[in-house]
A = this chain, B = another copy of it.
Amino acid sequence: MLHPSSELPAADLLPVVRQRPVPQALIETLQARFGARCSTAQAVREQHGSDESAFTVPPPAAVVFAQSSAEVAEVVDLCSQHEVPLIPYGAGSSLEGHLLAVQGGISLDLSRMDQVLSIDAEDLTVTVQPGITRKRLNDELKSTGLFFPIDPGADASIGGMCATRASGTNAVRYGTMRENVLALEVVTADGKIIRTGTRARKSSAGYDLTRLMVGSEGTLGVITEITLRLYPLPEAVSAAVCSFPSIEAAVRTVIQIIQLGVPIARVELIDANTVRMVNAHSKLGLREEPMLLMEFHGSPAGVKEQAETVQEIAAEFGGQAFEWASTPEERTRLWTARHNAYFAAIQSRPGCRVISTDTCVPISRLADCLLDSVAEVDASGLPYFLVGHVGDGNFHFGYLIDPDSAEERTRAEALNHQLVRRALQLDGTCSGEHGVGLHKMGFLVEEAGAGAVELMRTVKRALDPKNILNPGKIFEL
């Protein structure tokens, strides 16, 4: 039985703010060293003290714009000497409060460290600085015939994507940041620069420090260089869409696709309610039913075969209005509903704010999880949209709340809490791709258990004994 919303702990709604002192001597040293690249201007601090989450927290005391790994090491060393918190900052697109200065301190902006350091096309690897965004990285790769597939939607920085273990629509085929980071350079809490991993595709040489850093949300080290796996741009790409009589029919189609080994590159679900919003927004006449939007990568014959196989499977589960296309224009047209879902939703309630959920469950549990949760949101009366990276079992409700209504905010958080509880009961996770940050700290304990979280704390205490690296995130120490 799920807890009713009245039992929700207030801690899930408000971050614990416990400002630690930032000595003026540190600010002065940073200003002397970095000049205009150390800013205490209110606007700059406020920009760096907020993110896409719904929390409001006082901004950091200063923002330093680093230009090299050595500079990062210097700043970390100074913060260590003064025991002052330091929060790495990339593109500011975090959704879970990762960037907020809940214990005060310094924001370390890495966006100027945005260079591609080397492209090794034969090895399908690239080494970059953390501040480069994924779109610019792919622009720089254009002439190579290769691409970096991880696409979380936002034009996040690669460093931030490492820090949150990001993924997105392509993960069903290409994996997440977990699978696609080969090596890192990291500044540790004592200001030392270390390297983890090599450019070899695999290794059994010692502890997997790369994967320990990926997803650690800036709490174990500052990532200053990243080597990524690349993939050849597919020779052919095709897209398909199909409508289904129920969410369950759509999910069963996806299970069958994956069990048959169809190497589908993307498979996204949007629910009938969201299709309705898209129809209203974009003046389309799509069937107002759950819809799958798919993409196939391969040879021309291969993508045709994939689409044909999928069409047959979809028909078995009552799929209707199957369309597929291989020209770029037609593919874009087919995917209109997915591309426009977010904007259609927010325009359906002008001035609203989106609270996004991020649970992920084993795919066999997905239909159950979605059906119960959709019923719950419908009963709540809150407007919402629903999109899912359904091949991975990851989906996002976007609750559309009035930003001035504490009641709606509470209602949305209560729905999210019930959803997370349900996902955990179904062997799932509270965060498929957004990370824990401030928002999921309570859920992490429910998910992983006190013993596993205590082990995480033990690692944190050992690697950052002064608790200066993005403190107060993931778990309380």
Known interface pairs A171-B202, A206-B474, A458-B462; A263-B263 also in contact (CB < 8 Å): yes
Provide the A346-385 mask, 1 if CB < 8 A to any CB of B, else 0: 0000000000001011111100000000000000000000
- Determine which of B206, B235, B358 lies in contact with A475 in the assembled complex, contact meaning CB atoms within 8 Å: B206
- Determine which of B178, B193, B362 lies in contact with A208 in the assembled complex, contact meaning CB atoms within 8 Å: B178
State whether B451 touches A193 (Cβ < 8 A). yes
Q: Which residues of chain B are within 8 angstroms of A448 by Cβ–Cβ distance?
A: 195-196, 205-206, 209
State whether A463 touches B458 (Cβ < 8 A). yes
Provide the A289-305 mask, 1 if CB < 8 A to any CB of B, else 0: 00000000111011001
- Determine which of B200, B393, B427, B440 lies in contact with A427 in the assembled complex, contact meaning CB atoms within 8 Å: B200
Interface residue tally on A, bucketed by range: 35 or more
- One of A43-51, A254-262, A323-331 at the interface: A254-262
Which B residue sits closest to A122, measured CB to CB? B364
Which chain A residues in 132-187 approach chain B with CB under 8 Å?
145, 164-167, 171, 175-176, 178-179
- How far, in Å, is A185 (CB) from chain B's closest CB? 10
Q: Is A461 an interface residue (CB 8 A)?
A: yes
Q: Is A435 an interface residue (CB 8 A)?
A: yes
Q: Is A452 an interface residue (CB 8 A)?
A: yes
Which B residue sits closest to A123, measured CB to CB? B362
Known interface pairs A123-B363, A448-B196; A235-B208 also in contact (CB < 8 Å): no
Q: Is A121 an interface residue (CB 8 A)?
A: yes
- One of A80-88, A210-218, A337-345 at the interface: A210-218
Q: Which residues of chain B are within 8 angstroms of A202 by Cβ–Cβ distance?
A: 165, 167, 171, 176, 178, 360, 392, 394, 429, 432-433
State whether A452 touches B305 (Cβ < 8 A). no
Query: Which of A164, A362, A447 has the most C-beta atoms of chain B within 10 angstroms of its own C-beta?
Result: A362
State whether A123 touches B364 (Cβ < 8 A). yes
Q: Is A456 an interface residue (CB 8 A)?
A: yes
A65 to B179, CA, bound (A): 35
- How far, in Å, is A177 (CB) from chain B's closest CB? 9
Q: Is A21 an interface residue (CB 8 A)?
A: no
Q: Which residues of chain B are within 8 angstroms of A393 by Cβ–Cβ distance?
A: 200-201
A462 to B430, CA, bound (A): 27
Which B residue sits closest to A219, measured CB to CB? B207
Q: Is A54 an interface residue (CB 8 A)?
A: no
Q: Is A398 an interface residue (CB 8 A)?
A: no
- How far, in Å, is A266 (CB) from chain B's closest CB? 14
A267 to B258, CA, bound (A): 24
Q: Is A192 an interface residue (CB 8 A)?
A: yes
A122 to B365, CA, bound (A): 9
Q: Which residues of chain B are within 8 angstroms of A467 by Cβ–Cβ distance?
A: none
State whether A204 touches B166 (Cβ < 8 A). yes
State whether A429 touches B205 (Cβ < 8 A). yes
Known interface pairs A120-B362, A258-B124, A362-B123; A205-B447 also in contact (CB < 8 Å): yes
Q: Which residues of chain B are within 8 angstroms of A188 by Cβ–Cβ distance?
A: 451, 455
Q: Which residues of chain B are within 8 angstroms of A200 by Cβ–Cβ distance?
A: 360-362, 392-394, 427-429, 432
The 7 closest A-B pairs by CB, nearest first: A462-B462, A211-B211, A122-B364, A203-B429, A232-B261, A194-B451, A123-B362
Query: Can you list 23 A-B contacts with CB-CB less than 8 angstroms, sorted by A residue number?
Result: A121-B259, A145-B259, A166-B204, A188-B455, A198-B427, A198-B447, A199-B427, A200-B394, A200-B427, A201-B394, A202-B394, A203-B360, A204-B431, A204-B433, A204-B436, A205-B435, A206-B453, A207-B215, A208-B214, A209-B452, A302-B305, A459-B463, A462-B462
